[in-house]
Amino acid sequence: MLPSIKKLLTLQDRDQKMKAVLTEIAALPREKAARDRELKAADDRLEAARSRQREIEVERKKREVEVKAKQDQIARYKNQQLETRKNEEFSALKHEIEGAEKAIIEIEDSELVLMEEAEALKPNLLAAKEAHTAEKKKVESHMASLDSRRENLTARQKELESERSGFTEGIEEDLLDHYNRLFKSKGGMALVTVEHEVCTGCHMKVNTQTILEVKAEKEIVGCPQCGRILFEPQ
Ligand SMILES: [Zn+2]
């Protein structure tokens, strides 16, 4: 194998590792956003369980106000009864009072129904709260592991960056530029093998003349179709 091909292969291996690290780093924000959505969904589920409970509270308060209003009404009617001397008016007020008392009983009955519903919802709410706590804990630990992965990846990135100059040593500048361009434009595959007369980079058949040049291992040979640097598998 040509010494420069050997050097470039080592460099390519290191650059591919770097590429993988950078791809993983780039994917982290997306993963974090997915975890954020999970957290939001857990919050929504808890909120849904709580909302009926809150509705019931509101309904109960409304009924308490209604009862109070009816009681005030009754007190007023009773005062009016004390003041009136007309029998007709007195019995009309009595009728009003009875109506208000009946209304109070009905309101209180419906309040009781609401209280029973609230009581029945308690276990659901408790389960929803427990589920929410567990989900939140899970997502938070995911988040923490994402953070530590970012740290590890960044450290690895720095390590690979600092190593690179060592790997480019002894490679001719023009060849290195050529390699760098290929690595960038050919999806991290600047050097590929020829197998069964086919370039493993573009999967096109390579002509005999090129195959012979590759086999001779005298110079750098590019694939006539894709331009990648070709070498014989060892
Ligand atoms: Zn090719």
Q: How many angstroms is it from 221 CA to the middle of ligand 1?
A: 11
**Class of domain 8-169 as given by CATH:** mainly alpha
CATH 1.10.287.1490 domain residues, the chain: 8-169
pLDDT of residue 124: 86
Phi and psi (nearest 5°) for 195? -130, 130
Distance CA 94, CA 81 (A): 8
pLDDT of residue 93: 95
pLDDT of residue 174: 96
Q: Do 176 and 200 contact (CB within 8 A), yes or no?
A: no
The list of the chain residues with pLDDT below 70 reads none
Q: How many angstroms is it from 163 CA to the middle of ligand 1?
A: 29
Q: How many angstroms is it from 124 CA to the middle of ligand 1?
A: 63
Q: How many angstroms is it from 26 CA to the middle of ligand 1?
A: 29
pLDDT single digits (tens) 191-205:
999 999 999 999 999
Q: Do 229 and 221 contact (CB within 8 A), yes or no?
A: yes
Q: How many angstroms is it from 96 CA to the middle of ligand 1?
A: 98
Q: Which letter, b or e, does each residue of 127-150 get, where b requires 16 or more Cβ atoms within 10 Å of its Cβ? A: ebeeebeebeeebeebeeebeeee
Distance CA 146, CA 142 (A): 6
Q: How many angstroms is it from 59 CA to the middle of ligand 1?
A: 75
Burial classification of residue 194, based on how many CB atoms lie within 10 Å of its CB (0-12 exposed, 13-18 middle, 19 or more buried): buried
pLDDT of residue 206: 96
Q: How many angstroms is it from 225 CA to the middle of ligand 1?
A: 5
Burial classification of residue 191, based on how many CB atoms lie within 10 Å of its CB (0-12 exposed, 13-18 middle, 19 or more buried): buried
CB within 8 A of 110, min separation 6: which ones? 63
Q: How many angstroms is it from 222 CA to the middle of ligand 1?
A: 8
Q: How many angstroms is it from 85 CA to the middle of ligand 1?
A: 114
Q: Do 184 and 45 contact (CB within 8 A), yes or no?
A: no
pLDDT single digits (tens) 114-168:
999 999 989 988 988 998 899 899 989 999 999 999 999 999 999 999 999 899 9
Q: How many angstroms is it from 197 CA to the middle of ligand 1?
A: 11
In angstroms and rounded to an integer, the radius of gyration of the C-alpha atoms of the chain is 41
Q: How many angstroms is it from 12 CA to the middle of ligand 1?
A: 17
pTM of the prediction? 0.69
> Nearest CA to 191 among 20, 39, 13?
13
pLDDT of residue 48: 87
Distance CA 159, CA 22 (A): 13
Q: How many angstroms is it from 208 CA to the middle of ligand 1?
A: 14
Distance CA 129, CA 123 (A): 10
